């Protein structure tokens, strides 16, 4: 039985402009690998409502689970919550449960729960809240889409909240072998090996060091015995 599938939607002009380096995809990929959930696609879209809505609809239909990051803060360009509601034809407004969380937090810190901060309590009617132990403002889940903050520390905390609720599969394992030959020299035999072990993912990642060319061959799969057999054949194939 194949593992459940997932996709990630990264939202924000600052990512596409190069101003901000996204760290959330790397974290999510590692967490999903350990949980036995295959991350199959990552999209990055701007702060544009039609683009966000279209991407959410497509990814939600194509994969078991979707994670979004970014666009749920207090400023005018934080439009993700409204876009999620539109994608699922859901009503959205300030919800009492989210408002209560924010009110308690800002009362404790002595800050005002002003109109801008209340934007973070705008949640679709059908959504369930995702706990945010870092800065309180919640994420939320609608159907199979988990909507999370873009701030890495908050995103990671929300992932930790959501992952235990998902059904995983077999964790993905990997084996790596460095071969000090150029890809042009190893491509033929490597392709034949990949065809023989079609149940594994076998990739070649070239490098150049001290004037020498080579490749790291990475094999991934959920069956440890198959991985070990493939690694043994790979070592024999390219033995010096």
Tens digit of each residue's pLDDT (9 = 90 or more) over 39-98 = 999 999 999 999 999 999 999 999 999 999 999 999 999 999 999 999 999 999 999 999
- Residue range 118-146, pLDDT digits in tens: 999 999 999 999 999 999 999 999 999 99
pTM of the model: 0.86
User: Residues near 192 by Cβ (< 8 Å), separated by ≥ 6?
Assistant: none
Q: Cα separation of 161 and 163, whole Å? A: 6
Domains of the chain (ranges plus CATH)?
Answer: 5-165 (3.40.980.10), 173-237 (3.30.70.600)
Question: What is the phi/psi pair of residue 5, to 5°?
Answer: -110, 155
Which spans in the chain are helix H? 13-16, 24-35, 49-62, 80-87, 96-109, 115-118, 152-162, 183-196, 224-237
- 3 state DSSP class of 71: coil
Instruction: For residue 78, give the 3-state DSSP assignment.
Output: coil
């Amino acid at each position: 039985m194949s593992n459940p599938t997932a996709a990630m939607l990264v939202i924000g002009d600052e990512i596409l402009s190069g101003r901000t380096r996204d760290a959330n995809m790397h974290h999510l990929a590692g967490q999903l690998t350990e949980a036995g959930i295959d991350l199959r696609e990552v999209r990055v879209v701007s702060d544009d409502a039609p683009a966000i809505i279209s991407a959410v609809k497509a990814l939600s239909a194509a994969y078991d689970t979707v994670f979004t990051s970014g666009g749920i803060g207090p400023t005018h360009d934080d439009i993700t919550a409204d876009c999620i509601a539109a994608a699922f034809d859901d009503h959205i407004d300030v919800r009492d449960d989210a408002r209560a969380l924010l009110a308690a937090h800002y009362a404790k810190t002595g800050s005002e729960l002003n109109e801008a901060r209340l934007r973070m309590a705008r949640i679709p009617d059908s959504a369930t809240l995702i706990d945010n132990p870092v800065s309180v403002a919640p994420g939320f889940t609608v159907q199979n889409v988990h909507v999370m903050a873009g701030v890495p520390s908050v995103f990671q905390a929300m992932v930790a909240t959501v992952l235990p609720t998902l059904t995983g599969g077999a964790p993905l394992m990997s084996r790596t072998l460095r071969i000090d030959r150029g890809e042009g020299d190893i491509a033929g035999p490597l392709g034949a090996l990949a065809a023989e072990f079609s149940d594994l993912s076998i990739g070649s990642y070239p490098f150049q060091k001290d004037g020498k060319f080579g490749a790291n061959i990475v094999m991934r799969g959920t069956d440890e015995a198959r991985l070990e057999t493939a690694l043994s054949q790979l070592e024999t194939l390219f033995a010096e």
